[in-house]
Structure 1
Amino acid sequence: MKNKVSELFKIKYPIIQGGMIWNSGWRLASAVSNSGGLGLLGAGSMYPEVLREHIQKCKKATIKPFGVNVPMLYPNLEEIMNIIVEEGVQIVFTSAGNPKTWTSWLQDKGIIVVHVVSSLKFALKAQDAGVQAIVAEGFEAGGHNGRDETTTLALIPMVREHIKIPLIAAGGIATGRAMLATMILGADGVQMGSRFVASEESSAHRDFKQSVVDAKEGATHLTLKELAPVRLLKNKFFNEVQELYKTGPTIEELKNLLGRARAKKGMFEGDLDNGELEIGQISGLIHDIKPVKDIIGDVISEFELAKTEAVKL
């Protein structure tokens, strides 16, 4: 499936796996790359030397292109970037920060840079910074999210109207029909996160994966906007956050409730009561845990069928 995204990354299908914290280790990234997409390691939940280990294991597990997602709000950023260069990673997705900070530095070393945004304003800033592609992520997405709450359906055509570089749609995409819909709206490819959480190769705890499969419509909610907006499955911790909001809490009180390693506790360790369970609205359409190759195969088959059906309309 040749287009701007597949040609940019030298991959078979314009499908990118989101670099989700506590989910995106070397097994998932290499499986996605081996299945024709672009796998990403999630550096946000890795200490620098842990990231190095995952990069090295990924290189042994696939000869296909893969990349690293780097949220720029985390510490040890310079060390992480140096490890990426030392290990010969060719693709970096940056997020949660100013794209001007690292884009030129990485590109000078031959690395393709993509930036993740949640609004047209930041898409234009990323394009001005010189990135080679943009991920525009709608409000439906799991994990950290945009403050403007713009949905994917509205965001993609607005961004497409104003940018010239390749555009990747994210947020609420787990099926071939959704992939086709966003591409009709102007995207050149898609990034999927939640669907790959519920894969055999995801590093998430099995209980968290099952909670994604069990989720129904309305099971997630965007909260903690005063800190960094995040979409979570509703659980005991989420309810505690909502109760605290009734008291008009300060930012410090919200931080104290959140504490440390809350996401690790939920997604990686499987504490479904006290953990932070980050997942997208599309979890209501995810009904099974299966191997990555089957997920990508299903998406592409449905995409091709939907495209054929659309021609008949």
Structure 2
Amino acid sequence: MNDRITQLFGIRYPIVQAGMVWASGWRLASAVSNAGGLGLLGAGSMYPEVLREHIGKCQKATTKPFGVNVPMLYPDIDQLMDIILETGVKIVFTSAGNPKTWTTHLKERGITVVHVVSSVKFAMKAKDAGVDAVVAEGFEAGGHNGRDETTTLTLIPAVKEKIRIPLIAAGGIATGSAMLAAMVLGADGVQVGSRFVASEEASSHPSFKQKVVEAGEGDTHLTLKELAPVRLIKNKFYHDVQQAYAQGASVAELKELLGRARAKRGMFEGDMEEGELEIGQVSALIHDVKPAAQIVSDMMQEFEAAKNRVAQL
């Protein structure tokens, strides 16, 4: 394919693997890049020197473009950005913060910058900050999410009306058919998270991958909006959160319940009861754990088949 996203990143297919915490290490990022998509390292779950290690290993594992996703709410962001510059990474996705903070600094040093948003308002702010592209993520997505609960089906055409820079759709996309739908709505490419969690190369715990495969419709819920909106699989921790809400918990009490390393405990260490299990609604459509290259290949085959179906309408 030859479109704005493949040209922007120098990749074969307009598929971006989301930089998910505790799932997106060098094995996954390099596998997706080698398969023709854009792999991203998830710096949100990495200390600075861990990020340096993953960048180095990714550079050895692929000659293809890859990037780093940096949530801007993390305290070590200055060190993370220094390492990105020192190691020669050429693509950075920023999220969970003001795009003006780092966009100019990175672009002046030759880095392609993409910002993740959940609303038209923030898409326009990202454009004004000078980013090269925007990821518009509907509330179907897992991980940190928008408070307004705008669905991908509504968000993508709404953002497309207001910006002219490349637009990447995210939230609820795990198949080639969904990829085609997003592009019909105005997206130039897609970002895929949950489907790559259930990949052989994802660094998430095997128990979490199996939990994703077993998830059905209605098994996830967007919650904790007072802190940072996150979509969770309904386990004991989730029900503890709902109990806290029922008792009128304050923001401070919610923070205490969440504690430290709750996401690591669940998604990386495999505690399926007390851990925070972030995943998208589309987990209900994920039925197996596959190699990342197979996921990319399957998506592209489904995309072409869906185009043929539409052509016959």
Give yes or no for TM over 0.5: yes
- Alignment partner of 1:68 is 2:78: no
Q: CA RMSD in A?
A: 0.4
Q: Tell me which residue corresponds to 1:111.
A: 111
Per the TM alignment, residue 7 of structure 1 is displaced from its structure 2 partner at its CA by 0.4
Q: Distance in 1 between matches of 2:43 and 2:274?
A: 23
Tell me which amino acid in the other structure corresponds to 2:71: P
Q: Tell me which residue corresponds to 2:120.
A: 120
Tell me which amino acid in the other structure corresponds to 2:10: K
Tell me which amino acid in the other structure corresponds to 1:301: Q
Q: Tell me which residue corresponds to 1:132.
A: 132
SS in 2 for 1:161: helix
TM-score, with normalisation over the residues of structure 2? Answer: 1.00
Q: Deviations over 1:117-169 (max 9, x none)?
A: 00000000000000000000000000110001000000000000110000000
Alignment of 1:1-313 (within 5 A): 1-313=1-313
SS in 2 for 1:290: coil
SS in 1 for 2:301: helix
Q: Distance in 2 between matches of 1:63 and 1:297?
A: 19
Q: Distance in 1 between matches of 2:105 and 2:246?
A: 46
Tell me which amino acid in the other structure corresponds to 2:97: G
Per the TM alignment, residue 76 of structure 1 is displaced from its structure 2 partner at its CA by 1.1
Tell me which amino acid in the other structure corresponds to 1:294: Q
Q: Deviations over 1:165-202 (max 9, x none)?
A: 00000000000000000000000000000000000000
Structure 1 runs of 4+ aligned residues shifted over 6 Å read none
Q: Distance in 2 between matches of 1:97 and 1:130?
A: 15
Tell me which amino acid in the other structure corresponds to 2:109: K
Number of residue pairs aligned between Structure 1 and Structure 2 = 313
Q: Distance in 2 between matches of 1:246 and 1:9?
A: 46
Per the TM alignment, residue 279 of structure 1 is displaced from its structure 2 partner at its CA by 0.1
Identity of aligned residues (%): 72
Per the TM alignment, residue 260 of structure 1 is displaced from its structure 2 partner at its CA by 0.4
SS in 1 for 2:162: coil
SS in 1 for 2:311: helix
TM-score, with normalisation over the residues of structure 1? Answer: 1.00
Tell me which amino acid in the other structure corresponds to 2:148: D
Q: Deviations over 1:194-230 (max 9, x none)?
A: 0000000000000000000000000000111111110
Return 5+ residue gaps in structure 2 as ranges.
none
SS in 2 for 1:135: strand
Q: Distance in 2 between matches of 1:238 and 1:194?
A: 18
Return 5+ residue gaps in structure 1 as ranges.
none
Q: Distance in 2 between matches of 1:82 and 1:244?
A: 40
SS in 1 for 2:20: coil
Tell me which amino acid in the other structure corresponds to 1:61: A
Q: Deviations over 1:230-262 (max 9, x none)?
A: 000000000001111111111111011111000
Tell me which amino acid in the other structure corresponds to 2:201: E
